[in-house]
């Protein structure tokens, strides 16, 4: 009955229908702004870096090892996975209920478990986002002065960025929100300009040449340092196969999007109907991924065709910016870097704001300055240790964390007849077991340093989906509690 519900569930109020907005005024532009964040699109041609912050791909040729067409097709597939697997069901649950994620999630994880999953986990992971943001944004701020990761200047700027973003997220988010709507125009304009100045090199781009250029200096270095170089072939960076390109791009893109996919509940609760949810995702999620990631691939390929990447080739879009814009003026790269850094500050503040709201709900007796302060310290340590610079690795962990969440929510939705089943008592075993197993599957490669699981975020989703369904059918769901009559 309603009396058995915790206060945070019983007092939840759905967003009134008259206060809801169309997809083109809410969901689509907000999601598109996420993918216009430079950290997402600058890494698409690189995926994994040889050295963190270098912009040099770990695998020769990076995502372009099999050509622009294969990379672009892999990007399209990844975008559709984000929309259909990770976003659509949470969005529909949001529009049906008008309730936020931490309430809707009680169906999958129980009203007691809902304090932790997905609400508290979402708050904790925000500081992983903040760390990645700070790592790369600090790199842009320091680049005009010729200093980078490891220098005292870099450390001081990174710490100041994290502290200021955390404080603004807690106390000044309203001021940040006033300008945040317009700042994505900076990266949008920069992407278009870089595409125009690099497009001429596309006709000369040859992926085999790019791969060879990536292998050549590494082979020479290995040969020079190997005492038995004359007796054995030097080791070189392997290039990705066609399947490898698809897996690498999907792992990066889906991992990046996983938390935002679950947050589709919060976006959907402000939409008018499921048609808004659908179009908001197709345009703001799939369309934005293809647009920003696709332009970044074209920019890197064009620069490669024009011979502007150096040896070994640097494929990170922001790093090669200086080689692409000499005709626009000597100061242009620095101006672009600072505009991208300015546009990256509001997302950092919003990460802190989301974390604070999560902690206020799940840890109501703890001062948000303390909980978020601890999170900020963790973010600083991630940056100064360099781990935050491994964007692909961080996104894999995020995907492993929220892949099974989205999978279990999808299974719960289908088993309930494509609707929200309602809050469940206590800790729902089906949800928690499916999350633990799904997380292990999604994170096992990073834990063991192996490559057993293809596309860990998607694998984690599949495990969460299948295992929740099996456990639910086996009777391992707790009883459903009744919401108050006026909100039924």
Which CATH number is 32's domain given? 1.10.4160.10
pLDDT at 296 over 90: yes
How would residue 366 be classed by pLDDT, with cut points 50, 70 and 90? Answer: confident
**Mean pLDDT rounded to a whole number for the chain:** 88
Residue 198: CB atoms within 10 Å: 26
* Within a domain: 50: yes
Query: What percent of the chain has a predicted confidence (pLDDT) above 70?
Result: 93
Q: How many domains does the chain have?
A: 1
pLDDT at 483: 83
Terminal-to-terminal C-alpha distance of the chain = 12
Calculate mean pLDDT across residues 71-86. Answer: 98
pLDDT at 229: 43
Query: What percent of the chain has a predicted confidence (pLDDT) above 90?
Result: 61
pLDDT at 11: 84
Residue 235 has which token pair? 């080791």
Cα–Cα distances in Å, from 410 out to 78, 256, 479?
A: 18, 19, 19
How would residue 181 be classed by pLDDT, with cut points 50, 70 and 90? Answer: confident
* Within a domain: 311: yes
* Within a domain: 24: yes
pLDDT at 173: 67
Calculate mean pLDDT across residues 7-11. Answer: 84
CA distance 450 to 396: 13
pLDDT at 482 over 60: yes
* Within a domain: 450: yes
pLDDT at 74 over 80: yes
How would residue 226 be classed by pLDDT, with cut points 50, 70 and 90? Answer: very low
- Tens of pLDDT along 380-426? 999 999 999 888 888 889 999 999 999 999 999 999 999 999 999 99
* Within a domain: 460: yes
Residue 29: CA count within 13 A, CB half-sphere: 11
pLDDT at 213 over 50: yes
* Within a domain: 405: yes
How would residue 358 be classed by pLDDT, with cut points 50, 70 and 90? Answer: confident
* Within a domain: 447: yes
SS3 257: helix
pLDDT at 459 over 50: yes
pLDDT at 1 over 60: no
Backbone angles phi, psi at 68, to 5 degrees: -65, -40
How would residue 200 be classed by pLDDT, with cut points 50, 70 and 90? Answer: very high
pLDDT at 318 over 50: yes
pLDDT at 235 over 70: no
Residue 98: CA count within 13 A, CB half-sphere: 13
State pTM to two decimals.
0.90
CA distance 283 to 22: 13
Q: How many residues does the chain have?
A: 488
- 193 is in which domain, residue-wise? 2-224+234-487
Calculate mean pLDDT across residues 15-42. Answer: 91
SS3 366: coil
Cβ-count burial of 450 within 10 angstroms (0-12 exposed, 13-18 middle, 19+ buried)?
exposed
Higher pLDDT, 176 or 8: 8
* Within a domain: 229: no
SS3 480: strand
pLDDT at 251 over 90: yes
CA distance 396 to 399: 5
Q: Are 251 and 460 in contact (CB under 8 A)?
A: no
Calculate mean pLDDT across residues 277-305. Answer: 96
Residue 146 gets the label, from left (phi > 0), alpha (psi -120 to 50) or beta, of left
pLDDT at 134 over 80: yes
Cα–Cα distances in Å, from 3 out to 17, 103, 420, 427, 446?
A: 26, 16, 20, 18, 44
Cα–Cα distances in Å, from 91 out to 259, 265, 272, 367, 470?
A: 13, 5, 11, 31, 24
Calculate mean pLDDT across residues 450-457. Answer: 87
pLDDT at 3 over 90: no
Complete DSSP assignment for 423-459:
-BSS--HHHHHHHHHHHHHHHHHHHHT---SSSHHHH
pLDDT at 485: 64
Q: Which of 117-121, 259-263, 300-304, 474-478 has the lowest mean pLDDT?
A: 117-121
Cα–Cα distances in Å, from 170 out to 133, 165, 387?
A: 18, 9, 25
């Amino acid at each position: 009955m309603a009396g058995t519900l915790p206060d945070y569930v019983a007092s939840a109020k759905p967003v009134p229908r008259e206060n809801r907005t169309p997809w083109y005024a809410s969901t689509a532009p907000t999601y598109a702004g996420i993918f216009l964040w430079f950290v997402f699109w600058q890494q698409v041609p690189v995926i994994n870096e040889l050295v963190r912050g270098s912009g040099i791909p770990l695998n020769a040729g990076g995502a372009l090892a099999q050509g622009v067409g294969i990379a672009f097709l892999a990007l399209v597939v990844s975008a559709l996975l984000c929309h259909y697997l990770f976003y659509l069901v949470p969005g529909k649950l949001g529009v049906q209920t008008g309730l936020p994620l931490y309430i809707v999630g009680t169906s999958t994880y129980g009203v007691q478990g809902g304090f932790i999953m997905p609400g508290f986990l979402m708050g904790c992971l925000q500081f992983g986002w903040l760390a990645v943001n700070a790592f790369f944004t600090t790199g842009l701020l320091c680049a005009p002065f010729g200093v980078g990761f490891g220098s005292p200047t870099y450390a001081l700027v990174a710490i100041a960025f994290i502290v200021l973003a955390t404080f603004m997220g807690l106390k000044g988010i309203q001021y940040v929100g006033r300008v945040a709507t317009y700042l994505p125009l900076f990266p949008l304009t920069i992407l278009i300009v870089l595409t125009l100045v690099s497009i001429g090199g596309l006709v000369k781009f040859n992926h085999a040449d790019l791969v060879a250029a990536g292998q050549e200096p590494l082979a020479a270095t290995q040969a020079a340092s190997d005492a038995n170089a004359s007796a054995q072939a030097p080791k070189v960076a392997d290039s990705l196969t066609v399947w490898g390109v698809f897996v690498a791009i999907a792992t990066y893109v889906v991992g990046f999007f996983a938390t935002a996919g679950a947050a589709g509940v919060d976006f959907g609760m402000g939409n008018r109907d499921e048609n808004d949810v659908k179009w908001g995702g197709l345009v703001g999620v799939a369309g934005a991924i293809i647009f920003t990631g696709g332009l970044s691939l074209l920019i890197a390929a064009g620069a490669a065709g024009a011979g502007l990447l150096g040896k070994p080739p640097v494929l990170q879009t922001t790093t090669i910016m200086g080689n692409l814009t000499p005709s626009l003026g000597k100061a242009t790269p620095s101006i672009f870097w600072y505009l991208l850094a300015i546009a990256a500050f509001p997302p950092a503040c919003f990460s802190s704001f989301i974390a604070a709201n999560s902690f206020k709900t799940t840890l109501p007796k703890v001062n948000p300055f303390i909980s978020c302060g601890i999170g900020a310290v963790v973010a600083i340590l991630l940056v100064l240790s360099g781990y935050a610079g491994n964007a692909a690795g961080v996104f894999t962990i995020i995907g492993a964390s929220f892949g099974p969440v989205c999978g279990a929510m999808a299974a719960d939705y289908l088993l309930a007849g494509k609707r929200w089943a309602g809050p469940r008592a206590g800790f729902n075993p089906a949800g928690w077991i499916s999350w633990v197993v799904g997380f292990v599957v999604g994170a096992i490669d990073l834990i063991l340093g192996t490559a057993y699981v293809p596309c860990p975020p998607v694998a984690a989703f599949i495990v969460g989906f299948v295992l929740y369904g099996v456990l639910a059918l086996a009777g391992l769901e707790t009883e459903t509690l009744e919401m108050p009559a006026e909100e039924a």
